[in-house]
């Protein structure tokens, strides 16, 4: 484990990780057809319909929000990265859709009893310590109307343990993104060191997130005000130890 990593990601670490470099490699990791498929899965899992109001926390460059708007949702997206939000807005304009993009921190939301659905997709939950992570869930609960749904997509720690290599390489032309991953068994966090080699420059960033199991989610979500909690595997199949992802849906 990298001894510099702590039990919470700081604002400056978030800014350096979710930067233009993150966007630069985005389509190599999630090509447009993958994003189409994921947006379709979210639409079905959250039982969205024309005019459903939906909020994505940590919407990044809008690859999911803009697609949900194309399907007819009334969509809002919140992110802490001004760089990624600008990309999201540009893509929305290109697609001719309206999404309410808001710069902000998911630990403190401005909406109350408003949305039919809120979601965090692609390992966007767990960056902070337990107290702040649970605060995100309470804020999400408050921003949902009664009967609203919260979806959280996270990595399945059991599946990660079976991976043969902790190194993950992404290439775009001559540019490289190298991720070195490790598990911290004492804090139950996954640590990620990222090396970007781009235009002859090398940049290093890091991130970590808490790896909650389903029973942790049930406890935290009930305490945040949700009534029932369900588990699914990647994009809606059954959740098993070999599912790459754990998708949790909670009903307020």
Ligand X SMILES: C[S@@+](CC[C@H](N)C(=O)[O-])C[C@H]1O[C@@H](n2cnc3c(N)ncnc32)[C@H](O)[C@@H]1O
Interface contacts to ligand X, rule CB under 6 A? 14, 18, 58-60, 63-64, 78-81, 84, 105-107, 121-124, 127
Between residues 104 and 215, which has the closer beta carbon with respect to ligand X?
Answer: 104
| Assigned token pair, 165 | 């290599």
Q: Which residue is nearest to ligand X (CB)?
A: 58
| Assigned token pair, 138 | 């309470």
Between residues 132 and 184, which has the closer beta carbon with respect to ligand X?
Answer: 132
Between residues 22 and 226, which has the closer beta carbon with respect to ligand X?
Answer: 22
Minimum CB separation from ligand X for residue 200, in Å?
Answer: 26
- Render 64-124 in DSSP notation, one character per residue: THHHHHHTT-EEEEEES-HHHHHHHHHHHHHHT--EEEEE--TTS----S-EEEEEE-SS-
CA distances for 203 relative to 17, 38, 82, angstroms:
10, 30, 20
Between residues 79 and 116, which has the closer beta carbon with respect to ligand X?
Answer: 79
In the chain the first and final C-alpha atoms are separated, in Å, by 38
């Amino acid at each position: 484990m990298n001894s510099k990593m702590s039990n919470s990601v700081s604002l400056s670490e978030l800014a350096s990780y979710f930067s233009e470099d993150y966007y630069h490699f985005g389509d190599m990791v999630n090509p447009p057809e993958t994003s189409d498929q994921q947006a379709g899965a979210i639409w079905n899992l959250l039982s969205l319909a024309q005019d459903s109001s939906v909020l994505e926390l940590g919407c990044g460059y809008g690859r999911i929000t803009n697609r949900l708007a194309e399907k007819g949702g009334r969509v809002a997206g919140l992110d802490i990265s001004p760089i990624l939000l600008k990309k999201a807005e540009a893509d929305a304009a290109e697609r001719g859709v309206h999404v309410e993009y808001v710069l902000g921190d998911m630990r403190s939301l401005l909406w109350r009893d408003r949305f039919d659905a809120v979601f965090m997709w692609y390992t966007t939950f767990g960056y902070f310590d337990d107290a702040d992570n649970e605060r995100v869930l309470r804020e999400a609960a408050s921003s949902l109307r009664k009967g609203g749904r919260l979806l959280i997509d996270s990595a399945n720690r059991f599946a990660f343990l079976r991976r043969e290599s902790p190194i993950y390489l992404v290439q775009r032309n001559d540019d490289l993104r190298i991720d070195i991953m490790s598990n911290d068994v004492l804090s139950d966090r996954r640590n990620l060191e990222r090396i970007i080699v781009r235009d002859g420059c090398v940049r290093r960033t890091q991130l970590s997130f808490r790896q909650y199991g389903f029973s942790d989610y049930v406890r935290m979500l009930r305490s945040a005000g949700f009534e029932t909690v369900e588990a699914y595997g990647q994009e809606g199949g059954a959740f098993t130890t070999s599912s790459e992802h754990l998708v949790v849906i909670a009903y307020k």
